[in-house]
Structure 1
Amino acid sequence: MLKLRLKRIGRKRYPTYRLVVMENTCRRDGRPIDEVGYYDPIAKKYKFDTKKIQQWLSYGVKPTETVFQLLKKADVINV
């Protein structure tokens, strides 16, 4: 099953994350199928490719809880 989830990058004690589409059985920092955005929790910045995200969601990709909250906050998902 494909998931829309966060992949951690960045240095120690300064995390940044990429929003990626990957298989749910892959490890967190494994090879993604597609990268659709990034999130920086320290600077409170994010940038999402809404067109790609909407396309993946229409294919049936499920976001994780954290990603769902981020997308809701960015008005990518309207619930």
Structure 2
Amino acid sequence: MVKIRLSRHGSKKKPFYKIVVTDSRSARNGKFIEKIGFFNPIYHKKEKSFSINIDKVKYWTSVGAKISNRIQSLIKKNK
């Protein structure tokens, strides 16, 4: 099954997440199909905290990808 989920990057206590399309069997930070955005929970006022390509999300959901709960809540919050 293909999923749209977060992949954690950054250093200890300073997380940075990439929003990726990946096979659900792959590791959290493992191989992915496509990167479609990012989420930075710790950001400065000059930086963006969230960005996602909505067209890519619509495409991947139309071909059967499932969206994680966290991604759904981020999309709703930032509309």
Q: 2:74 aligns with which of 60, 70, 74?
A: 70
* Count of aligned pairs between the two proteins: 75
Q: TM-score w.r.t. structure 2 length?
A: 0.88
Q: In angstroms, what is the RMSD of aligned CA positions?
A: 1.2
Which structure has the larger Rg over C-alpha atoms?
A: 2
TM-score w.r.t. length of structure 1: 0.88
Q: Which amino acid aligns with 2:56?
A: K
Q: Does 1:48 align with 2:75?
A: no
Q: Percent identical across equivalent pairs?
A: 35
Unaligned runs of 5+ in 2: none
Whole-angstrom CA distance in 1 between matches of 2:70 and 2:56: 18
Q: Measure, in 2, the Cα distance between the counterparts of 1:50 and 1:6.
A: 15
Unaligned runs of 5+ in 1: none
Q: After the TM superposition, list the runs of 4 or more consecutive aligned residues in structure 1 that deviate by more than 3 angstroms.
A: none
